Amino acid sequence: MARLRLIVFFGALVPWAQAQEYRPGVQSLHWQIMGVFDRGQANAFSVAAEEYLKLLRAIPHVSDPEEVQIARQHLRYIGMVMDPEDPAHATLKLLEAGTGGHIETLISWWHRQDPLPYSENNERLQEHLARLAFALREYGHDKDERGFDDRGQIYLRLGAPSRSQEIKILSAGTWLNPYSARLPDNEFWVYRQIDKEAHYLFVRSSRSQPYKVAGAQDLIPRDLMASRRRVGLLIPVLEEIFAQLALAHPHYGTTYDALNSFMNIPGYSQSGAYQFVRRVTDKMRLDEDFYDRNRQHIIPVAFSNTLGGAATLEPFLRWARFLEPDGRTRIELYWELSRDALAPSRRLLRRLEREGHKPTARYLITFSAALRDSSFRIGSADTRHYSVSTALSRPVQTQVWSTVSQHPLTHLALQWEQRWASPQEDGTIAAGATLKLATRNLDSLQVLSADPTHLEMSDIRPLLLDLEAPQDSGAPFADTKLTPDTPLALLFEVYHLAYGLSDSTHYTVEYQVAFTGMQNRPPLSVASSYQSGSRMTTEQIRLDLSTWQEGGEVRIAVRVTDEVTGQQAERRIDFVFEAPSGSRP
């Protein structure tokens, strides 16, 4: 029935008997997908998004020139919203050039953009397709190879602006002047929800040309700038332009003040006025260049509205794999939320207050974890709730969640939600406004080898020791930061050790601590040999950090060597060491 619904929905007029053979091409899929989002058929967005992934998978196989062009356009659209520093960017460029690249890398990249991986929908992908359909419809231009003008590209990247306006001549005296010229068509967009630097002016030179990102100087009528005789009209026109720009964004305030002050000087000469205008316009160009460089560094490549204004939550997260007796791999997750991570910002509190929400003395933390199949669809899932006091120094101490997998690759989708909470008389918890959200994708976790002839090793589980306990015991440690007082231990397991002639196993464990960025601090290395009567062993080592004096990144590597077979296995774990106060940097 699912296939039948899909065919009927996308309007493929083929008999059901031929449905198994029907495979729409890239061009057909493109128009069908854009049609869904153009018409705003929200109940079909998820199906259309799946079809879009099919379109991407078809790209390496297209040969028809029109389909190749559409395929490369979609790759170009991805490039507009992908950080150039992302590892997938190199693959994208190869695919665009038609010289290689694995398309599944882009599919995986889109899954990583999913802001709520626990849900069935990829909200970010659907947002991208909806923006693309809108940009093609509202900002499309046949003279622009992208399919839309610069407004369309900014809209695809950042969404709708918080404010937009047209700069135009408002003064009747200026407008009716016989030498006056209309300002070129323009739009000024401001994105206050992103950053104060996020503002764009778009101008088109004629109605047949596309809008381009421009500077304020592009608003000045050319015939006015070209003639010294019209400087008496040019200055009022400039004042009107910058009065409106200054109201839209404070960057233009100083230029407006200078123009306004000059106009109040009685009896200024024509030559003096023209030189003044030249100085103003030259400074204006320098300012525009500065603002443009600022935007390139500050404004994100893409901005999503899918989380509805919720702030970002930053949990500490670690994971480790262990081998079960039946050969399956157990994946353990360790996560923690600090008081600082949970504290809402003043800006968030003000916004929630304006919306009528009131803070409470408790938080409700919801943690969700789901396994995804090879197509990244949600399989088994688990949700847990925690009610914690807002006054605790460690509201949510390290929690452990585990799952067992026998598939070669495991994909995990994780999600945290923080809300205000109020205990009810019946013992339940009433959830209030959402404060923060966090998501993580752990994709392509490989299972450990169950081959008894292959030396295998678990990942390293960091432990925070309980020094008051009679023996060295402790809870998993999810934090990345260490101090001299941290009672840290490292635990790991070794599997498939080989028996020697004395029916015992012999192995060596070497620990190496590398100090990244610490001056004159060579790596520390310690090796010890052991003998056991078992093919599997659990090792635990405690680290004494009290003598460390320099802060920086620390990488601990553990290498196990089977002295019988010569096989080796190695795992690593990273921390950041915070030097004690008073020590040298």
pLDDT at 14: 32
Pull the structure tokens for residue 559: 């290498």
pLDDT at 24: 63
- Residue 124 in any domain: the answer is yes
Whether 374 and 443 map to the same domain: the answer is: yes
Whether 442 and 456 map to the same domain: the answer is: no
pLDDT in tens, 78-98: 999 999 999 999 999 999 998
Least confident of 39-48, 301-310, 464-473: 464-473
| pLDDT band with cut points at 50, 70 and 90 for residue 168 | confident
Q: Per mean pLDDT, which of 282-286, 288-292, 469-473, 532-536 is the most reliable?
A: 532-536
Q: Last residue of some domain: 448, 477, 492? A: 448
Measured distance CA(250)–CA(229) in Å, rounded: 31
Whether 178 and 208 map to the same domain: the answer is: yes
Q: What is the CATH number of the domain that holds 369?
A: 2.60.40
Torsion of CA 8, 13, 15, 17, to 10 degrees: -70
574 has a pLDDT exceeding 80: yes
Measured distance CA(171)–CA(239) in Å, rounded: 11
pLDDT at 300: 92
Q: Last residue of some domain: 256, 276, 298? A: 298
| pLDDT band with cut points at 50, 70 and 90 for residue 177 | low
Whether 379 and 251 map to the same domain: the answer is: no
Whether 426 and 467 map to the same domain: the answer is: no
61 has a pLDDT exceeding 80: yes
SS3 state at 380? strand
Alpha-helical segments (H) within 20-171:
26-38, 45-58, 65-81, 88-97, 103-112, 123-138, 150-158
Pull the structure tokens for residue 291: 């603002």
| pLDDT band with cut points at 50, 70 and 90 for residue 4 | very low
- Residue 355 in any domain: the answer is yes
Least confident of 24-33, 79-88, 302-311, 569-578: 302-311
172 has a pLDDT exceeding 70: no
Q: What is the CATH number of the domain that holds 535?
A: 2.60.40.3880
Alpha-helical segments (H) within 299-386:
339-342, 346-354
Segment 14-35 mean pLDDT = 64
pLDDT at 582: 57
Proportion of the chain above pLDDT 70, given as a percent? 89
Helix axes 103-112, 65-81, angle to 10 degrees: 40
Q: Last residue of some domain: 298, 323, 351? A: 298
Whether 456 and 582 map to the same domain: the answer is: yes
The strand order across the sheet containing 429-446 reads: 311-312, 429-446, 409-423, 362-372, 378-389
Q: Which residues pair with 201 in a beta bridge?
A: 188, 214
Measured distance CA(529)–CA(490) in Å, rounded: 17
Segment 359-382 mean pLDDT = 84
Measured distance CA(429)–CA(302) in Å, rounded: 37
Whether 457 and 575 map to the same domain: the answer is: yes
How many domains are contained in the chain? Answer: 4
Measured distance CA(53)–CA(377) in Å, rounded: 13
Least confident of 82-86, 301-305, 347-351, 520-524: 520-524
Whether 480 and 582 map to the same domain: the answer is: yes
Least confident of 115-119, 557-561, 570-574: 115-119
- Residue 156 in any domain: the answer is no
Segment 137-163 mean pLDDT = 93
- Residue 143 in any domain: the answer is no
Whether 174 and 269 map to the same domain: the answer is: yes
At residue 372, what are phi and psi to the nearest 5 degrees? -115, 150
Full domain range(s) for residue 423: 312-448
Segment 375-393 mean pLDDT = 83
Whether 352 and 341 map to the same domain: the answer is: yes
- Residue 146 in any domain: the answer is no
Whether 331 and 428 map to the same domain: the answer is: yes
Whether 169 and 72 map to the same domain: the answer is: no
pLDDT at 19: 34
Segment 362-382 mean pLDDT = 84
pLDDT at 7: 29
SS3 state at 419? strand
pLDDT in tens, 195-242: 888 999 999 988 889 999 998 888 888 777 766 666 667 788 888 888
- Residue 150 in any domain: the answer is no
Q: What is the rounded average pLDDT for all residues in the chain?
A: 85
Segment 41-64 mean pLDDT = 91
pLDDT in tens, 189-201: 999 888 888 999 9
122 has a pLDDT exceeding 50: yes
71 has a pLDDT exceeding 70: yes
